[in-house]
Each structure stands twice: as structure tokens, then as C-alpha cells.
Amino acid sequence: MILHVDMDAFYASVEERDRPELQGQPVIVGGTPEGRGVVAAANYVVRKYGVHSAMATAEALRKCPNAVVLRPRMDHYVRISRQIREIFNRYTPVVEPLSLDEAFLDATGSVRLFGPVEAIGRAVKKDIRDELQLVASVGVAPNKFLAKLASDLEKPDGFTVIAPDAVQAVLEPLPVTRIWGVGKATKQKFDGLGIRTIGDLGNLSLQQLQNSFGKIGQHFWELARGIDERQVVADREAKSVSHETTFGQDVRDGDVLRAWLMELTEQVAGRMRRNNVQGRTVNLKVRYGNFDTITRSKSLPQSTNATNVLWSVVSEMLDYQLTHRSPIVRLLGMGVSNLQRPSSVQQSLFAEVQHERDTKLDEVADQIRRRFGTTSLRRGSTVQHDAEHKPLPRPE
């Protein structure tokens, strides 16, 4: 059984905890309404007005004019996220973080110490509440897809268990949009086929779904039956590191997209350095306004975690996309795969001097951010998109 732990309105909940006078008020954590400020988190009071994360702050204030808008304190949220991770690690070392506020846990190997996985989930939830005065929703299920689904069924402050023999009973009444990968365009296609629920989807054969949706048809067929073979992968065992962000409104400005991509690259490179890994393959993901999605990859002659090296490669791939297609972009992502430890990396003599220079520069930048906060040092290009206000990337 797998656990999915998801903090409820994380940034907003932290602010309410730290400032009790905000409790009961509609609270938005995000950028200013001017420019492209977006909602990073919305508490449950303001959500009643239709406000949600990744929405433009200006639109959010039109829906709820009396909302309190607070600028994010990312360094503060990062520290609290580490405290949450420490609680996870008490119960299992197999923790796969998805963002600052959610993670998968495989507690199978901890049952002898702490009892059934359900009991472990309740203990994690209680420790977070007692020690940090924050609320998490927890899902317990046979696999990652079902565990994440379970954690969302009774939010906020939810705790849901999907037993192996109850999977179909839980899935079938749910709307088909609960399936990973079903966005607006796919839902429209399902509507045309008369598919409204996961139960409706499960009535279609694999061949029917492949005929209608191609390769992703098998993905839909499996999830409709609660099948998900992916394992929980701890950071230390990850084969890739990536971040992506979905824009509240489609972005048409190439310079803004480059600025966002630089921010994503810095996040990925910093996470690689924290975990002492380097990678050889750089990956770009772009989802356009019509939901067409492209992924591009390029392998380097040697592995690296230097921000400048990764940026030079991924920015070139983005420039190619912007040159050959109108930049109406909904989602942008960047990642690095083919990871290995630095001790196993052979540097070429030609590149060694430049790589050493880039590495030292990154080390100094990392030290400054650790001491003074994540927004204390930023490259000039990231200023254009008000980078510190964006929601952390989350899987779709």
C-alpha cells in the first residue's frame, strides 16, 4: 500500500498559522495583480468564490475583491517543507517528493515497526498537525494513482483508504476528469463518445480506446481499472529530475517564456546539486494552448549539474520551438535524465576548466540562497516574469 500526503492550501495555511488574524478571511498567496502575477495558493475561504492556484491574481481579485493578497515567502515554505520531510523519514526512507507540499511514501517495509500502512498514514497526519500546526490530507491505496486520488476525495483534512477489493466501487462513479491526462481537449472528446464517468470509460475495450486516442488509450484503459505499475522512487534513486509549471493564462511572449525556463533550470540544477548527482540528457516539455504537447531531448558529451551548461542547451531547444511555431504556451517544463554520481563522471580535458568555473559559481550562488533565502539572488532574465510568485510545479 502507498501513501500520498498532500498539504492543504500549503502556503496559505502557513500564513494563517503564522498570522492568526487571517483565519476565516479569504487569503491568496501570490503575485501582485499588475503584470502576470498569479495565485500560488488560495485558502478554502477564497476558493468558494472560484479562485484557484495558477489563476491570474487580477482575475482572482475580480472574483473576490476583499481577498487578502500576500507575497510568497519561499524560503520560509522551503524550511517548513523540510520539517515535513523529516516527519516522513521517521516512518520510511522511501519518499518521493512531488513538490514542497506533497509526496508519495512507500511504507511497506515499515509495517513491522509501526503497524499497518493505514496506521502509519494516521501517525504522519497527526505528527504534522501536532508539531507544525498544519493540516494534511492523506490517501492510502494499492498504487500511486489511487493514493493520489484518495488524498483528494475528502479535502480538506481528509483521510481516505481505498482497499484493493474496493477499487472499482470507488472509481466507477467518479467523473472521467479524475483520470490523469484528461484535460479540456480530451474531456471534449470523451463527451462526444458519451463518456462521463470512469465507469463509462471502463466499459470501452482497449482496442476502442487505442483507435480513438492512439498510444495513450492504453493509459486510460489501465487507470480506469485502477492499474498503475509505477513504483515510489526516492530522490536518491531517481533517474531524472524535472520541474514544470502550468500558466494561469497562455503565454505569447517569447522573452517571458525564456525567463520562466531559466527559473525552472535553476530549480532543477539546484536540486541536482543538493542530491549530489549530475545528468547527461537535457529535456524540454512544451504544451501549447490547443493542448498539443512536444518533448525534446539532447544528450551532452559529459554529465553536469552546472546551471549555465544546462541553460545553454535547453534555451536553444526552446528557441527552435519558438522560431517554428507561434508561442501560445500553456505549460513549460525542463528536466535532466541519465543521472549519475560525480565520482563516476569523467571530465574531458578541454571542458574541465570551464566546468570547474561554472561549478564554483553555482556553489557560491547556492550558499547565498541558503543563507539569505531563495529569492536573494536571481539572474536578470527571471525578473521579467515575477518568478518568485509562481506556484511550484505540480504533476498533472
| pLDDT tens digit sequence for 161-214 | 999 999 999 999 999 989 887 877 788 889 988 999 999 999 999 999 999 888
Tell me what the mean pLDDT of segment 333-361 comes to: 64
238-389 CATH fold = Dna Ligase; domain 1 (3.30.1490)
Q: Please, which residues have CB within 8 angstroms of residue 23's CB and are 6 or more apart in sequence?
A: 16
Cα-flanking dihedrals φ and ψ of residue 131, to 5°?
-90, -30
Residues 64, 105 contacting (CB under 8 angstroms): no
The whole-angstrom separation of Cα 342 and Cα 156 is 42
Average pLDDT, the chain: 83
* C-alpha dihedral sign at 91, 94, 99, 100: positive
CB atoms within 10 A of CB 327: 20
CB atoms within 10 A of CB 79: 11
Q: How far is CA 12 from CA 29, 45, 157, 274, 367, in A?
A: 6, 11, 15, 27, 28
Rounded CA-CA distance 241/303 in Å is 13
Q: What pTM was computed for the model?
A: 0.70
Confidence of residue 375 (pLDDT cuts 50, 70, 90): very low
Percent of the chain past pLDDT 90, that is, above it, reads 51
Q: Are 133 and 124 in contact (CB under 8 A)?
A: no
Give the range with max mean pLDDT: 75-79, 143-147, 180-184, 376-380.
143-147
Catalytic residue list contains 102: yes
Question: To 10 degrees, the CA torsion angle through 152, 393, 256, 27?
Answer: 50
Q: Which three cell numbers stand for residue 48?
A: 468558494
Domain 168-224 has CATH 1.10.150.20: yes
Residues facing 138 on adjacent strands: 5, 159
Enter the CATH code of domain 10-73.
Answer: 3.40.1170.60
Count CA atoms closer than 13 A to 194's CA, side-chain side: 2
Q: Pick the catalytic residue from 102, 263, 266, 388.
A: 102
Alpha-carbon distance of 383 to 248, in angstroms, equals: 18
Check for a shared fold between 2-8+75-166 and 10-73: no
Distance in angstroms (rounded) separating the CA atoms of residues 289 and 308: 29
Answer whether 221's CB lies under 8 Å from 209's CB.
yes
pLDDT of residue 233: 84
235-259 average pLDDT score = 77
Domain boundaries, the chain: 2-8+75-166, 10-73, 168-224, 238-389
Which has the closest alpha carbon to 137: 150, 146, 127? 150
Determine the 3-state secondary structure of 394 from DSSP: coil
Specify the pairing of strand 329-340 against strand 39-42: unpaired
Superfamily of domain 2-8+75-166: Reverse transcriptase/Diguanylate cyclase domain (3.30.70.270)
Residue 353 is predicted with a pLDDT of: 46
Averaged pLDDT for residues 279-296: 88
pLDDT of residue 212: 86
